Structure 1
């Protein structure tokens, strides 16, 4: 037989007190004596009592849980954003539930449903690359639950957003490559439905235009932006005899793949080809040469995202105005480009 979970009634029976007293003691109610609280906590530990957050949320209307959806948690950028969110949330006695979409639409939609069923007080999310339908996010909005998007956002959703100026970061990077002699600059990008890639591509194009360099569509290549994609795209460029003297990637991972292939083919960096990425992943400072990249201010982004969320949570207005916060990126110039 499956062992039944302990309840507050089990604790109450053992201590010969009421269930309501147990409940108040577990919630640190000021009217319950410290001696009673200690006895309740001791018995709760003995019985391995686990609070039912959903039942508690139904009673109080607050779960003190925030759902956080990221494409993947093993990237330094997303883990740092999560750290920033958690710092603010923990200070306000809130906990976060982290879910990964793995850039899969179905997984993202299912996660939203799970979080809503868990009665979270709100959702913070970064949209997956394959997401084209936003009905699952619309469902959050319709329920009147706070939703804040960060980094990968969509203009199709009227919600608060926290992003960096991807256009500026890309523009400054490409301008830096041009000022260091580059003229045939390849751009690695991804789905233009995702705002970050759209804006970084726009920054790339505008920098070329402002410096009198004609745009060559053949130098713009789409992929999933992983390390292996960077390797494959660079191999194809070399195989097809495409002339280029620099690569600007919207991802540090794909620029790392490019660096590996170029070295394998005997290219000198930055003398033959200059390289620049985006994201300031830790490994970019350990390569030889170190990789020029754009810092996305991940921890400040996480903190501001959380602060924006709590502003919404504490806003009594029926239709709060969506707030868009844009952080300034920082170009970090290293040996791969100059």
Structure 2
């Protein structure tokens, strides 16, 4: 069977006996074309099965109405909620999103950033991979005045828009909560120290301990990739210590659930033997038994805010080289967090 040919504006022009320029303008609601003609053209186009080639239009105009989204792992509840927030705002303004995931690989992030650039996206929203240290692969967007927003995992050395929480404050609040529940030997399961999210949460953890005159013990701090399995592994290490911790602050809920499962297998009573707090308020936090105390992480709002930054930049016609001068103040939007207390830590 012969493959059907895509309908073009030339086919519509031939059917209606109009110039292709008129058809093109009518499909774009150009003010020079009457409403009557626009309606007729659109009706015929729909009847003929015409599909506008958005990418081709972008190639001609050097940009598309597509926002590139480069994240770590789509199957993480935080990331899927973040994407949902981005898509909601983009869709309302007539934009689409192109989603890519690095799987926490620096090499994949570099390649995907190039793929988004080559696709001529009109803006990029990115949450950095766990092991990314060099962010020079994003400079091409700045050089071409393509708005770039880093969200949640942001670089320390790259001046552009950032949307994040106060990770230091969140880490401090999580640790202080465990202290207030009577914990005196508090472990910390964290991610790569090269990511601001984890280094700042760790700093908050450390300061809360010092403020309470508690010891900061390096053997109680474990760096992981924060998967469920690594949460189980970290918990096993901590529970095998001669003097095991009586509280654990985990920087995501996925790994924290792994900790809960190992604690239960060991016969430890939660929260009396071991109090546990996670981070993100993923759906599983309220499903696991006992319910997981966690730190709220406004993923949807972060996505919405990041998308609005991109669209505001596009609408106002700002050029990145005007806004993002080396000596300018980096624009950062901080969103609030709070401790959501559940049974895994509630001793009092």
Q: TM-score, normalised by structure 1?
A: 0.93
Moved more, 264-273 or 34-43: 34-43
* Structure 1 residues 52-76: Cα deviation after superposition (integer angstroms, max 9, x where no partner): 2233224445422211111122322
Q: Deviation at 1:269?
A: 0.4
1:213 alignment partner in structure 2 = 214
Partner-residue secondary structure (3-state), 2:68: strand
2:142 alignment partner in structure 1 = 141
Q: Distance in 2 between matches of 1:60 and 1:265?
A: 62
Q: Deviation at 1:233?
A: 1.3
Q: Distance in 1 between matches of 2:256 and 2:170?
A: 16
1:263 alignment partner in structure 2 = 264
Pair 1:81 & 2:100 matched: no
Match of 1:333 among 320, 330, 341: 341
Is the CA contact 2:66–2:121 (under 8 Å) kept in the aligned structure 1? yes
Is the CA contact 1:121–1:146 (under 8 Å) kept in the aligned structure 2? yes
* Structure 1 residues 207-252: Cα deviation after superposition (integer angstroms, max 9, x where no partner): 1111001111000001110111111111222334451111110010
Partner-residue secondary structure (3-state), 1:81: helix
Q: Deviation at 1:101?
A: 1.7
Q: Distance in 2 between matches of 1:251 and 1:175?
A: 17
1:27-42 residue pairs with structure 2 within 5 A? Answer: 27-42=28-43
Q: Deviation at 1:127?
A: 0.6
Q: Distance in 1 between matches of 2:221 and 2:317?
A: 44
Match of 2:323 among 316, 320, 324: 320
Q: Following TM superposition, where does structure 1 have runs of at least 4 consecutive aligned residues deviating by more than 6 angstroms?
A: none
Q: Distance in 1 between matches of 2:184 and 2:238?
A: 16
Q: Deviation at 1:34?
A: 4.6
Is the CA contact 2:239–2:245 (under 8 Å) kept in the aligned structure 1? no
Pair 1:196 & 2:204 matched: no
1:95-174 residue pairs with structure 2 within 5 A? Answer: 95-174=96-175
Q: Distance in 2 between matches of 1:119 and 1:74?
A: 26
Q: Distance in 2 between matches of 1:8 and 1:103?
A: 43
Is the CA contact 1:312–1:320 (under 8 Å) kept in the aligned structure 2? no
Moved more, 302-311 or 124-133: 302-311
Q: Distance in 2 between matches of 1:173 and 1:330?
A: 9
Q: Deviation at 1:3?
A: 5.1
Partner-residue secondary structure (3-state), 2:124: strand
Is the CA contact 2:162–2:333 (under 8 Å) kept in the aligned structure 1? yes
Moved more, 37-46 or 180-189: 37-46
2:248 alignment partner in structure 1 = 247
Q: Size of the alignment, in residue pairs? A: 338
Partner-residue secondary structure (3-state), 1:156: coil
Q: Distance in 2 between matches of 1:241 and 1:48?
A: 72
Q: Distance in 2 between matches of 1:194 and 1:44?
A: 50
Provide structure 2 residue ranges, at least 5 long, that are not aligned to the other structure. Answer: 325-329
2:64 alignment partner in structure 1 = 63
Provide structure 1 residue ranges, at least 5 long, that are not aligned to the other structure. Answer: none
Q: Deviation at 1:204?
A: 0.7
Partner-residue secondary structure (3-state), 2:323: coil
Is the CA contact 1:56–1:63 (under 8 Å) kept in the aligned structure 2? yes
1:46-57 residue pairs with structure 2 within 5 A? Answer: 46-57=47-58
Q: Distance in 1 between matches of 2:288 and 2:216?
A: 30
1:8 alignment partner in structure 2 = 9
1:237 alignment partner in structure 2 = 238
